[in-house]
């Protein structure tokens, strides 16, 4: 593709968007970095504190087409990373319409604004392995031709985003690349099982909690580091073909139970744990092993961080959070 001079990240103040912004600021400092954050968002300063002077922020709600149009008309980025999403799978069962309205309409507004402005950026639609749902073992490892079979309102919204991306490519030749990310360790996203476990463990270490609560431990996941995931997103816009879908994931596969036991072994005190029925989903996705050969062939990408390094990175972050909670409690 042509030289990139500016990028825009939707949902930049969120957990994934902020790590992507840090990646671009660190490894591609010559590129102008713009971000969309909802005008009522309260996470900007927390997640972007390390690079606040390197990002131009735009208050914008993707549910408001006029707001999206105005920002894109002003910025005209070469690349758009569309990450903004209500992404809590379990919570989507309690708030299905809110999740679907936000994720689907926000994506449609983004694509429509680009179309109406008649400019042609590369758009990376950051999707998820949740689109595949509960996969028949005959399709494992999962490649991009596996049927989409969403098992949650969140997954339904992501399938719809995926199909919108395909349609806008076919109808208008908008340069949309669909990436379907499998599980990754994200210290800033507390609703993910790994982060929830690590934060609870860190709180137990400092005496703020007595036992770790968990949901289903039998699900199988293939996991990578958030820093590797963000590098993969960057490689996708450089090397992948518009109109195509690409799985992204790691090569470390384990059950959620095995992850929990590894985490316990890295803790400074014994960790007691038990299942909390409230953490069980009405329908769960239990087998997520990706085939990422298509993405690797296109990009040459491979993870840089070992699994133990990733878990240590996660645990160190959560220990800082727990320490801060303890200090605030003692004030």
Q: Is the pLDDT reported for residue 102 higher than 90?
A: yes
Q: Residue 173: how many CB atoms within 10 A of its CB? A: 11
Q: Comparing 41 with 133, which gets the higher pLDDT?
A: 133
Q: For each of the domains in the chain, give its residue range(s) and CATH number, in order of start.
A: 6-182+226-248 (3.40.50.720), 185-221+252-289+304-330 (3.90.25.10)
Q: Residue 41: which pLDDT band, with cuts at 50, 70 and 90?
A: low
Q: Residue 99: which pLDDT band, with cuts at 50, 70 and 90?
A: very high
Give mean pLDDT, residues 73-101: 96
Give mean pLDDT, residues 274-285: 86
Residue 257 is predicted with a pLDDT of 96
pTM for the structure as a whole:
0.94
Q: Is the pLDDT reported for residue 38 higher than 80?
A: no
CB 226 within 8 Å of CB 19? yes
Q: How far is 198 from 319, CA to CA, in rounded Å?
A: 8
CB 6 within 8 Å of CB 78? yes
List beta partners, residue 181: 128, 248
Residue 329 is predicted with a pLDDT of 87
Q: Residue 284: which pLDDT band, with cuts at 50, 70 and 90?
A: confident
Give mean pLDDT, residues 52-68: 94
Max Cα distance, the chain (Å)? 59
Q: Which of 11, 14, 10, 12 is nearest to 190 (CA)?
A: 14
Q: How far is 214 from 196, CA to CA, in rounded Å?
A: 8
- In 139-196, which ranges are E strands? 176-181, 184-185
Q: Is the pLDDT reported for residue 152 higher than 80?
A: yes
Q: Is the pLDDT reported for residue 212 higher than 50?
A: yes
Counting every residue, how long is the chain? Answer: 331
Q: Residue 44: which pLDDT band, with cuts at 50, 70 and 90?
A: very low
Q: Average per-residue pLDDT in the chain?
A: 94
Q: Is the pLDDT reported for residue 251 higher than 70?
A: yes
Query: Which letter, b or e, does each residue of 104-141 get, where b requires 16 or more Cβ atoms within 10 Å of its Cβ?
Result: bbbbbbbbebbeeeeeebbbbbbbbbbbbbebeeebbb
Q: Is the pLDDT reported for residue 100 higher than 60?
A: yes
Q: Is the pLDDT reported for residue 267 higher than 80?
A: yes
Q: Residue 301: which pLDDT band, with cuts at 50, 70 and 90?
A: very high
Q: Is the pLDDT reported for residue 43 higher than 60?
A: no
DSSP state of 11: T
Q: How far is 97 from 185, CA to CA, in rounded Å?
A: 28
Angle in degrees, CA 260, 151, 153, rounded to 5: 105
Bond before 13 cis per omega within 30 degrees: no
| Tokens describing residue 241 | 């073909």
Q: Residue 40: which pLDDT band, with cuts at 50, 70 and 90?
A: low
Q: How far is 318 from 171, CA to CA, in rounded Å?
A: 45
- In 262-301, which ranges are E strands? 273-275, 287-288
Tell me the C-alpha to C-alpha distance, in Å, between residue 317 and each of 43, 131, 209, 221, 322. Answer: 16, 29, 17, 22, 9
Q: How large a percentage of the chain has pLDDT more than 70? A: 97
Residue 2 is predicted with a pLDDT of 60
């Amino acid at each position: 593709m042509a030289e990139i001079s500016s990028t825009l990240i939707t949902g930049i103040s969120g957990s994934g968007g902020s790590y992507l912004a840090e990646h671009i600021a660190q490894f591609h400092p010559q590129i102008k970095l713009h971000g969309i954050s909802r005008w009522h968002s309260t996470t900007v300063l927390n997640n972007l504190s390390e690079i606040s002077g390197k990002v131009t922020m735009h208050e914008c709600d993707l549910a408001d087409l006029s707001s999206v149009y105005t920002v894109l008309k002003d910025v005209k980025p070469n690349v758009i990373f569309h990450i903004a999403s209500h992404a809590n799978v379990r919570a989507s069962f309690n708030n299905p319409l809110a999740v679907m309205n936000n994720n689907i309409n926000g994506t449609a507004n983004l694509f429509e604004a680009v179309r109406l402005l008649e400019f042609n950026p590369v758009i990376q639609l950051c999707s998820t392995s949740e689109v595949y749902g509960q996969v028949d073992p005959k399709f494992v490892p999962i490649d991009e031709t596996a049927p989409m079979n969403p098992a949650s309102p969140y997954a339904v919204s992501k399938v719809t985003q995926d199909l919108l991306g395909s349609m806008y490519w076919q109808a208008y030749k908008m340069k949309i690349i669909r990436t379907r990310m499998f599980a990754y360790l994200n210290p800033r996203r507390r609703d993910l099982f790994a982060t929830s476990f690590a934060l609870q463990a860190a709180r137990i270490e400092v005496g703020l909690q007595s036992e770790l609560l968990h949901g289903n431990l039998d699900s199988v996941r293939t996991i990578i580091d958030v820093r590797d995931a963000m590098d993969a997103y960057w490689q996708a816009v450089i090397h992948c073909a518009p109109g195509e879908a690409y799985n992204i994931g790691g090569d470390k596969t384990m059950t959620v139970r095995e992850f929990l036991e590894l985490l316990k072994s890295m803790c400074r005190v014994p960790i007691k744990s038990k299942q909390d029925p409230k953490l069980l989903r009405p329908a769960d996705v239990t087998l997520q092993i990706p085939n990422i050969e298509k993405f690797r062939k296109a990009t040459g990408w491979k993870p840089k961080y070992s699994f133990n390094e990733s878990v240590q990175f996660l645990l160190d972050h959560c220990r800082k959070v727990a320490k801060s909670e303890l200090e605030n409690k003692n004030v």
